[in-house]
Amino acid sequence: MCGICGLLGSNGCVEVQRLQDMTESLRHRGPDEESYYFGTHVGFGFRRLAIVDREHGHQPFQSENGHIKVIFNGEIYNYRELKERLQSQGHRFEHGSDGEVIAHLYEEEGFMFPTKLRGTFAIALWDERKRRLMLIRDRLGVKPLYLRLSGEHQGLAFASELRALLLGQEHPELDRQALDDYLSYRYVPAPYTIFQGIWKVEPGTALLFQVNRHRIEGHSVRYWRLPEEQMHLSFGAATRQVTESLEEAWQIRWPKEVPAGYFFSGGLDSAGLVALHQSSGQGPARTYALGFEQPQKTQDYRYYSELEQARQTARVLHTRHFERIVTRTEVEAQLPRILAAMDEPIADPTALPLYFLSEFAAASGEKVVFSGEGADEVFGGYSVYWEPRAHRRFQSLPGWTRSLARSIFPEQTRRFSLALSERYFGVGGLLRPDQKNELYLPGAIPLRSRESRHFFGYDELQAEGRLEEERMLRFDLMSWLPENTLMKSDKMSMAHSIEMRLPYLDHQLVELGVALPVAYKVERAQMKRVLRDALQNYLPAELRRRPKNGFPVPITAWLNSEWRANVQEVILDPGSRIGDYLRREGLQAWLKGRFSSRSARLAWALFTLETYLYEVESATGGWQHKENRKGITKAINAERVADQKMTRR
């Protein structure tokens, strides 16, 4: 994995210093090598984390005649087959790198060439003769790619991380609609970001930009979509196909050049990958697990640690197992760095263990780690997917029974009268529209043109012809997964120069999983039924039957004790950025008393956003700092002092 960035100007000039600064900001994504390309209209910057063809594989890659230049971040797993085909068509290759195929494939296939790639990637391709720039993101959005237009479409910049697009430039305003999205979903859906004029390339999409005289014109092409038709397979046939597809997805991702380990919870998904490894003859798998120290006044320590489950499973599978416990003090010391490394605000506290787990694996010498991310979205692993069944049961009751239930349990039954999108976001989201109205300052409310603007994947929730469970799974694959789960996975692992590989998100396995009947995946008695059966030759029954256990983070416990005063001070600081949009009195009402899990989610989201904005300002010399930012300054400085004093385990 690597870091890429670039500039395109309609006037034929490239700001060299700006490109160098952008490239330097991506050093953590590629500590092994730095390179550049400067041509007419375009400049590319590249940072390399060497995995495939470590001695060669220098970027940018190019076609034989040099007219096509390519930089990319990711891995192309079917590059050997592609090279053989391209060589038979007369193309020549200098070395053994996977990215060499891209320029030649573009010459043969045109702008739909990404359909031939199997892997994870963010690609920038410059066609000198056509004066065309292509920016491409892989099908599932594993690798991020950001874009910023400037000067009335006279120039653009792109990068693997949003922060690179802020360097040396006038800082954009917050996108108030994006803020509204964030306060609904806990992340900003693609193609939007928290800032006006900065965009995310959507998964499965190619953006084409043409330099036309003194203007840059662009349009997008969707080169991949989720399957529309359902496969009609027996359960046994479906199980066999999932087994074969998963085995291949793991095999093509196993690196031959560098060490690789496993992020390991001991649950079904990570245990399944490790079991595949153990049967491959590659030697014992190295597994890494993490837990948090027990918060004060908390009786059940197991809730905050996966270590016992991971330890038990590691013994069964005979792995070389490594684990560590992270203290609250360590989290506090690293918190500003973690939220800054996130690169955009995402209010998912599982970023914390991902950061420390990546740090742990990197310190142990790993350059590649395997993770079970994506299995829940493909095969139906979340309990929220049971909700439509409860909704249908309620609607099937006699009218008098429903009326009685509503009168006795008004809050519990209120959601059964809502549309799927409202029910879905009400489970894991932050604020309902009526709650936002109580919080927004008067000037901010009219800026919300509609409660839920259309964004990438949202149409999946509106597809009335599908079962609600199916619509939820498809939405999660196209929005929640890439813009929340995979975004934080990429940023936390790359902060420590580690490449994460995700066999469950091989697009062929995803297409198979999506096309299977919902009953093979979402079943009350056994979630991910087809995957559990697919692993029956690799895992003993007690591991396959193990229930879903999310990564536990004691945020609510910390917010109700040691972190409470600090978080309140940051959010209610008179100089806070969020104070430009939200009423202080409304925030105080949310923050008083003991935090429930829901109010703790909101407090964490607001703290995350405010800390992120402050760190971005500090690191990139952005907006003029507002006066009276005592809360955030005090919090950040205290954490940095703790960082200096911390004794590492």
Q: Quote the CA–CA distance of 436 and 177 in Å, as a whole number.
A: 12
Question: Of 231, 173, 106, which is closest to residue 515 (Cα–Cα)?
Answer: 231
Pairing of strands 33-38, 42-48: antiparallel
Q: Quote the CA–CA distance of 308 and 266 in Å, as a whole number.
A: 9
User: What long-range pairs does 16-23 form, CB within 8 A, spacing at least 24?
Assistant: 16/43, 17/168, 18/157, 18/167, 18/168, 18/169, 19/43, 19/44, 19/45, 20/45, 21/167, 21/168, 22/157, 22/159, 22/164, 22/165, 22/167, 23/47
Give Cβ neighbours of residue 148 (< 8 Å, ≥ 6 apart).
156, 157, 158, 165, 169, 197, 198, 199
Catalytic residue among 1, 2, 14, 582: 2
5 given a catalytic annotation: no
Q: Quote the CA–CA distance of 545 and 540 in Å, as a whole number.
A: 9
Q: Output phi, psi for 107, to 5 deg.
A: -65, -35
Q: Quote the CA–CA distance of 501 and 23 in Å, as a whole number.
A: 24
Do the beta carbons of residue 321 and residue 460 sit within 8 Å?
no
Which token pair is 163? 């922060």
Residues written for the chain: 649
DSSP sequence for 290-358: EEEPPPTT-S-GGGGB-HHHHHHHHHHHT-EEEEEEE-HHHHHHHHHHHHHHTSS----TTHHHHHHHH
DSSP sequence for 153-182: TTEEEEESSGGGGTTTSPPPPB-HHHHHHH
Do the beta carbons of residue 505 and residue 140 sit within 8 Å?
yes
Catalytic residues: 2
